Amino acid sequence: MSSHAHSVHHAEAPKGFIRHYIFSLDHKIIGTQYILLGLSAVTIGMILSVLMRIHLGWPNAHIWGFANGIMTPEDYLRTVTMHGTLMVFFVLTTVPQSGFGNYFLPIQIGAPDMAFPRINMLSFWVTFLAMIVLLAAAFVPGGAPISGWTAYAPLSSIGEIAGPGQGLGQTLWVVSIALFCGASLMSGLNFLATTIDLRAKGLSLMRMPLTVWGWFITACLAVLAFGVLLAACILVLLDRLAYTSFFIPGGLSVSGQLLNHSGGSPLLYQHLFWFFGHPEVYIAILPGMGIISHVLSTFSRKPVFGYKAMVYSLSAIGFLSFTVWGHHMFISGMSPYSAIAFSVLTLVIGVPSAIKTFNWLGTLWGGRIQFTAAMLFAIGFVSLFVTGGLSGIFLAQPALDLYLHDTYYVIGHFHLIMGVAAIFAMFAASYFWFPKMFGRHMNETLGKIHFWCTFVGVYSIFMPMHYLGYEGDARRYSSTEAVHYMTEMHAVYLFISIAAIITATAQLFFYWNFFSSWIKGKKADQNPWHGTTLEWSVPTPVPHDNFGGKLPIIYRGPYEYSVPGMADDYVPQHLAPELVARAK
């Protein structure tokens, strides 16, 4: 394997802009490409969420970009769909795994590159194409689809008759997601092969950094989950274009017109979708868990508390994530008896998640905590993970889901635990690894201002959504005007909208910091945080050939901080025992 990787990795970088920066085979360039793609997606996704919040807070406001400045009910749902799809697929799935994972997995395991650099390049460009196809849906006649990121059949599979955007827009959406599935499958295989085959000498599984564990388990999930979504996409496409009836039962009358389908099952779509969809939640968060463990340990100057428990709990979450999809379907009409199994399994998956939280707290305990911007985001992650995790204990009980399902409670829950927590992990990773990636530091003061605004901001946005859920307010409503009890809650909607606008604006600190530091940030040395893992053993910025042809040998575990009897408070993984300075 490694000879193959070597063969594409000449000691010198390819000459020419296109081979170097566009169609690059270098995992570092590809990782950066994924991160920039994710940054564009998150920018669009965030602007769309602000537009929704403006509309909900001030229903009569004129909004730029819509015909006559009016956001119609279908415009609102188009925005919902595009926001969700961009965020879930092109941000949460893409950046922590394909972005940071691509960049740092090979370096952290002492490999010159990914196992299959050409497939790696192909994965990126197919993902890029998928995003172009998705965005194109907004510009075709009928516009973007209105069926949300879940695209439930039959709304998504009977064509234009179901509503505006359900024609060509929905077809493009399905094609985009199918492409994305293909790219994720290729990328997942690549991560697996790389982790299994290309680890440096001495890097046993139990010496891998938790980031590598996070990426590895996520790749297992991606390989098993995306194939199922791909199947679902193909069947929807056939229902739409070839008049099959996989998801469409007989006798449907839509807008007074009898459909010529029979024998399909809308529930089948939901089973396929959520068989993917629930592991997907963990695909978004497991790399983040790895990153947070890594950052907490570095800036507490302590080994990760319970390293093995962290590995086992990651694996347990990965395994269990395939057994809980039914908790999205308690009220769908599936057998109420199966709800019991899904409910108990869902509560059981809470246990490894709790184990992780306790071990993060254990890592902080007795440490020497340094409040860098990266560390602040890591601490924020722990807080958000606790809050978002506990609301899941309610939703896991079908008796309570009867009320809370499809209300704002669910929106608050999954944004905290899947959306914002994962985003906090991406911010932590950015502030932490930026010096290694670009050879310059991000500005710490701006980073801290960014943290405080964002931390207070996201709680102000998403906590009140739980209260809207208590009041029974339904999600995906373009207006509250038809429902008396929802209209009464307007003050809360307004508060959330104001918080969202402020928080979104505060992200300008990050954009400014990211791009200005890239150009003129403070120069970084090789190991600015005194880290122990391999990314800190290579020059800054990392040369084209990561280890200059001389692969490292690993002598110890990944988090040897504050080891008694040593001169420094960190002992790098690659340092030969005879070179480790002892305390005098």
Please list every residue from 34 through 53 that binds other proteins, using CB under 8 A: none
Contacts of other proteins in 138-157 (CB under 8 A): 146-148, 152, 154-155
Site string for other proteins, 505-544 (x = CB under 8 A): -----------------x--x--xxx--------------
- Give helix 373-395 / helix 444-470 axis angle, nearest 10°: 10
Q: Per the structure block, which two tokens stand in for 200?
A: 């440096």
Residues 305-324 that bind other proteins (CB under 8 A): 305-309
Window contacting other proteins (CB under 8 A); options: 85-93, 234-242, 277-285, 347-355: 347-355
| Residue 94 is a binding residue for other proteins (CB under 8 A) | no
Asked if 72 interacts with other proteins (CB under 8 A), we say yes
Tell me the two tokens of residue 418.
Answer: 């899947």
CB 347 within 8 A of CB 379: no
The candidate with the shortest Cα–Cα distance to 476, out of 259, 155, 132, is 155
Q: Which of residues 156-215 bind other proteins (CB under 8 A)?
A: 158, 162-164
Q: b vs e for 494-522, b when ≥16 Cβ sit within 10 Å of the residue's Cβ?
A: eebbebbbebbebbebbeebbeebeeebe
Give the shortest CB-298-to-other proteins separation in angstroms: 10
Task: Based on the shown chain and the rule CB under 8 A, indicate whether residue 339 belongs to the binding site for other proteins.
Answer: yes
Nearer to other proteins, 506 or 563 (CB): 563
Q: Which of 19, 118, 201, 368 binds other proteins (CB under 8 A)?
A: 368
User: Cβ(165)–Cβ(72) under 8 Å?
Assistant: no
Residue 258 binds to other proteins (criterion: CB under 8 A): yes
**Which residues on neighbouring strands pair with residue 566, listed in sequence order?**
582
Give the Cα separation of 225 and 304 in Å (integer).
30
# chain residues binding other proteins, by CB under 8 A = 125
Give exposure, 57-93, as e/b (b: 16+ Cβ within 10 Å): beeeeebeebeeeebeebbbbbbbbbbbbbbbbbbbb
CB of 41 to other proteins, least distance (A): 22
Contact by Cβ (8 Å): 214, 287: yes
The residue range among 132-140, 217-225, 455-463, 538-546 that interacts with other proteins, by the rule CB under 8 A, is 455-463
State which residue, 449 or 551, has the beta carbon closest to other proteins. Answer: 449
Task: Specify the residue, 16 or 565, whose C-beta has the smaller distance to other proteins.
Answer: 565
Q: Is 237 in the site for other proteins (CB under 8 A)?
A: no
Q: Does 476 bind other proteins (CB under 8 A)?
A: yes
Binder among 14, 59, 303, 543 for other proteins (CB under 8 A): 303
Among 87, 174, 183, 468, the residue binding other proteins under the rule CB under 8 A is 468
Is there binding between residue 240 and other proteins (CB under 8 A)? no
In the complex with other proteins, the residue whose CB is nearer, 63 or 122, is 63
CB of 129 to other proteins, least distance (A): 28
Q: Does 58 bind other proteins (CB under 8 A)?
A: no
- Contacts with other proteins in 412-451 (CB under 8 A)? 441, 444, 448
Q: Which of residues 479-498 bind other proteins (CB under 8 A)?
A: 479-485, 489, 492
Q: Which residue has the tokens 């955007």?
A: 165
Tell me which residue of 368, 513, 523 sits closest to 430, measured CA to CA: 513
Q: How far is the CB of 128 from other proteins (least distance, A)?
A: 29
- Which H or E element spans position 183? helix 168-197
Give the dihedral of Cα atoms 290, 292, 298, 301; nearest 10 deg: -110
Check binding of 281 to other proteins (CB under 8 A).
Answer: no
Tokens of 178: 């199918």
Where do we find the tokens 């999930």?
221
**Is the alpha carbon torsion for 411, 417, 419, 423 positive or negative?**
positive
Render the burial of 186-218: b for 16+ CB within 10 Å, e for the rest. Answer: bbbbbbbbbbeebbbeebeeebbbbbbbbbbbb
Q: Which stretch binds other proteins (CB under 8 A): 26-34, 36-44, 204-212, 350-358?
A: 350-358
Among 43, 244, 323, 332, binds other proteins (CB under 8 A): 332
Among 350, 446, 449, 543, binds other proteins (CB under 8 A): 350
The stretch among 181-189, 227-235, 357-365, 502-510 that binds other proteins (CB under 8 A) is 357-365
